[in-house]
Amino acid sequence: MSDVAKPLIVEFVGVNAWYGSYHALKDINLAVRQGERIVICGPSGSGKSTLIRCVNGLEACQQGRLVVDGHALDAQRHNLAAVRQEVGMVFQQFNLFPHMTVLDNLILAPMWIRKLSRKDATALAMHYLERVRIQEHAAKYPGQLSGGQQQRVAIARALCLKPRVMLFDEPTSALDPEMIKEVLDVMVGLARDGMTMICVTHEMSFARMVADRVVFMDKGEILEVAPPDVFFSRPQDLRARAFLNSIA
């Protein structure tokens, strides 16, 4: 199936969002199809995190149209519960429950949201812990793990709901340099498996390797959307060029 024939998973049409008087997102238009890997980059404060947080309803857009897996998310977010069943999210901080073991962190949502038995939820959790190569730590508590290991647990937890799309909000920014690779390796594996991904990151090597399209944002606007080979070699927008020069 060609990319244009694949169904739309996320669609922004003229989306605007404000924090009080601050205009955080300005006329956002972006369509993401099943299996696409989108990397969003840009300077701090450009609206990247706000954009992906709108996708799972952590932030609300006040104007425009946002549809996630066939569910419209309006300003009142009427379809929020349905959307969150289909969207997994991995944050900068790991957001694991410190008083629960790794395994218990993973089985909580499948049991409550998908109504799985503890036995079935445990089997699912162990499958994804193995997928992120951390199954031997299932009985440990988050505080006993390194930052990279905790982030891999967070990825496995998101996968346990079998989401249609995965969101990553700078998942390596809180990690020491030696831990970044182990998390990126897991994300590369998910991309190769065909997972639909929208990722905010400053890891440009990841964008070059994985992205189908790179989205450049600044001051709440999408200024450029291009395949990585085009974006990194001949960006059209002046601010995109300045951004790439600043991180070179």
Instruction: Return the pLDDT at 94.
Output: 87
> How many domains does the chain contain in total?
2
20-25 long-range contacts, CB within 8 A, separation 24+? 23/220, 24/50, 24/59, 24/220, 25/50, 25/51, 25/54, 25/61, 25/220
* pLDDT level of residue 177 (50, 70, 90 thresholds): confident
- In this structure, the answer to whether residues 43 and 62 fall within a common structural domain is yes
- In this structure, the answer to whether residues 15 and 52 fall within a common structural domain is yes
Q: Is residue 110 predicted with pLDDT exceeding 80?
A: yes
CATH number at residue 28: 3.40.50.300
- In this structure, the answer to whether residues 95 and 70 fall within a common structural domain is no
pTM: 0.93
CA dihedral 185, 187, 191, 197 (to 10 degrees): -160
- In this structure, the answer to whether residues 145 and 194 fall within a common structural domain is no
Instruction: Return the pLDDT at 233.
Output: 94
Residue 179 maps to a domain? no
- Distance linking the first and last C-alpha atoms of the chain: 36
Q: Which residue has the tokens 């639909």?
A: 196
- In this structure, the answer to whether residues 2 and 75 fall within a common structural domain is yes
Instruction: Return the pLDDT at 59.
Output: 92
Q: What is the mean pLDDT of the chain?
A: 93
* pLDDT level of residue 2 (50, 70, 90 thresholds): low
User: Which among 162, 180, 202 is the end of a domain?
Assistant: 162
Instruction: Return all residues near 177 (Cβ < 8 A) that are at least 6 apart.
Output: none
Instruction: Return the pLDDT at 66.
Output: 95
Residue 180 maps to a domain? no
- In this structure, the answer to whether residues 9 and 74 fall within a common structural domain is yes
Instruction: Return the pLDDT at 67.
Output: 95
The answer to whether 80 and 57 are in contact (CB under 8 A) is yes
| pLDDT tens by residue, 138-167 | 999 999 999 999 999 999 999 999 999 999
CB-based burial, 51-81: b 16+ in 10 Å, e otherwise: bbbbbbbbbbbeebebbbbebebeeebebbe
For the four alpha carbons of 89, 90, 93 and 98, in that order, the dihedral sign comes to: positive
| pLDDT tens by residue, 34-87 | 999 999 999 999 999 999 999 999 999 999 999 999 999 876 777 888 888 899
Q: Is residue 5 predicted with pLDDT exceeding 80?
A: no
| pLDDT tens by residue, 113-139 | 889 999 999 999 999 999 999 999 999
Range of the domain at 114: 87-162
Q: Is 205 left (phi over 0), alpha (psi -120 to 50) or beta?
A: alpha
The answer to whether 196 and 34 are in contact (CB under 8 A) is yes
